[in-house]
Amino acid sequence: MRVSTRTSGQRIELGLRLDLEDDLDGAGQQGMPIELVTDSATIQFEMKVGEPHPDLVALAVLAIVAPWCRRRLTIDRGISPEFARTAFESLGIQIGPIDETLPSRPPGQRLGLMYSGGPDCMAAQVLLDMPMPLFHFRRVGHPRVPNRATGLKGDVQEAIVRQVQSSGEELHVARSNLEYLCKPFPTFPHWVALTVGAVVLAGHLDLGGVVTGRNISGIYLGWGRGFTPGGEQESQWEALFAAVGLRLIHPLAGASDILSKRISRGHPHYDLARSCVAGTLEGPCLRCKKCLITELMSAAAQGAALTDEVVASLTSNHQLVRSFDHPPPYPNQHLLAYSLARIPNIGSTFLATAKETLAPTVDNTAWMDRYYRPALSQRLSPEIAARVASRLEDHHAHYMSSMDESIVNRWSATD
């Protein structure tokens, strides 16, 4: 693939051209088939982009186009020999041209946090407990591809995140239509594409690491589908980030959404936490998959039934209701099981079949209240692991027992 990366002012414009060996069909996150549907994308920043280190631009491009790039990636700036070697070793992609005289980018001093406005990124901030610039990815429209998901409200998400900024947090918003490259829409080529804002600005902002709110669900459990030993096979991206002086840091690698949500309550802006991307400024939509899980987790935490209003609103989304008509697997099945075991009277709602077939108990789902200790050594550096361990203690979060760990290690949504 050939990619042009024109920078002008606060903007980068990407133009994609396939090579003979490339294909419109690629594999996205968790191997999901994704199709390339257009040949351009833009990323708009709030500061002048200038001329970032070419390896940073190359990493941002790779994060976006890797699923469709078979063997070669040619960009319009010379990259360091070290980055080219890492890209080949990690992804099998020959990237060039190589500027033999270009040194690699040295690591910076600060960590930057990917900030969607949801409870996970707040929990990550609580666990690291250090000043970090926040990076928000704002989805915007594409001039040539229709918006097939008009329910997504990027403007509302941004407005909520701006409220956090107004309390003095350093916030950088990258506005991009890169999601429109893929079908089905909305899908990111890979979750690392969400980090392009931090990657491109890493030199300007002296970044030495990118922190995410990814938790045990994405890292060890394939979003509830099944366990991956040692955590997700992400070493290829870790090596690529390291080659540009950035560490990828997931402080919640051992925490479920249940524990993460509890930790996020220690965040000064917890009242602004929002997972739903389809609501209004006044509140979440109460009809989407994310709202379902959020409402279930809240009710479970209180041991309370879902309110009639919430049940009626969720039930009005027939597609959502239909996804629970059948036996497992269900999306985020572990969180569903946790909630169904704790919410009274759930058998009278559209979740009755799920409750009957999963038959979860409080005991066999309690592992989600605790941190999966192997994540500290497997997924975090010793320094970050020590920091996270100490903050877990401050927040009275416990580690999983060996019994809990064996549930995680055998987790499968289809058994």
Residues forming the site for Zn ion (CB under 5 A) = 276, 278, 284-285, 288, 291
Residues 6+ positions from 298 with CB-CB distance below 8 Å: none
Which residue do the tokens 């001093």 mark? 109
- The nearest distance, CB 287 to Zn ion, in angstroms, is 6
Q: Which is nearer to Zn ion, 251 or 279 (CB)?
A: 279
Nearest to 265 by CA among 414, 110, 127: 127
Write the DSSP symbol of residue 219.
H
Q: Which is nearer to Zn ion, 91 or 297 (CB)?
A: 297
Question: Taking CB positions, which residue lies at the least distance from Zn ion?
Answer: 276
Q: Given CA atoms 98, 99, 103, 108 in this order, what sign does their dihedral have?
A: negative
- The nearest distance, CB 332 to Zn ion, in angstroms, is 14
Q: Which is nearer to Zn ion, 90 or 317 (CB)?
A: 317
Return d(Cα 165, Cα 133) in angstroms, integer: 10
- The nearest distance, CB 290 to Zn ion, in angstroms, is 5
Q: Which is nearer to Zn ion, 251 or 284 (CB)?
A: 284
Q: Which is nearer to Zn ion, 60 or 291 (CB)?
A: 291
- The nearest distance, CB 270 to Zn ion, in angstroms, is 18
Q: Which is nearer to Zn ion, 64 or 314 (CB)?
A: 314
- The nearest distance, CB 264 to Zn ion, in angstroms, is 18
- The nearest distance, CB 236 to Zn ion, in angstroms, is 33
342-350 long-range contacts, Cβ below 8 Å, gap at least 24?
Answer: 342/299, 342/300, 342/303, 343/296, 343/299, 343/300, 343/303, 343/304, 343/305, 343/306, 344/303, 344/304, 344/305, 345/305, 346/305, 346/306, 349/306, 349/311, 349/315, 350/314, 350/315, 350/321, 350/324
Q: Which is nearer to Zn ion, 73 or 288 (CB)?
A: 288
- The nearest distance, CB 275 to Zn ion, in angstroms, is 8
Pairing of strands 33-36, 247-249: unpaired
From residue 184, how far is each of 25, 36, 148, 189, 228 by CA, in Å? 11, 9, 9, 10, 25
Q: Which is nearer to Zn ion, 313 or 365 (CB)?
A: 313
Return d(Cα 85, Cα 376) in angstroms, integer: 29
Helix (H) or strand (E) holding 125: helix 119-128
Residues 6+ positions from 87 with CB-CB distance below 8 Å: 58, 62, 73, 93, 94, 95, 240, 243
- The nearest distance, CB 153 to Zn ion, in angstroms, is 10
Q: Which is nearer to Zn ion, 153 or 355 (CB)?
A: 153
CA 247 to chain centre: 16
- The nearest distance, CB 32 to Zn ion, in angstroms, is 22
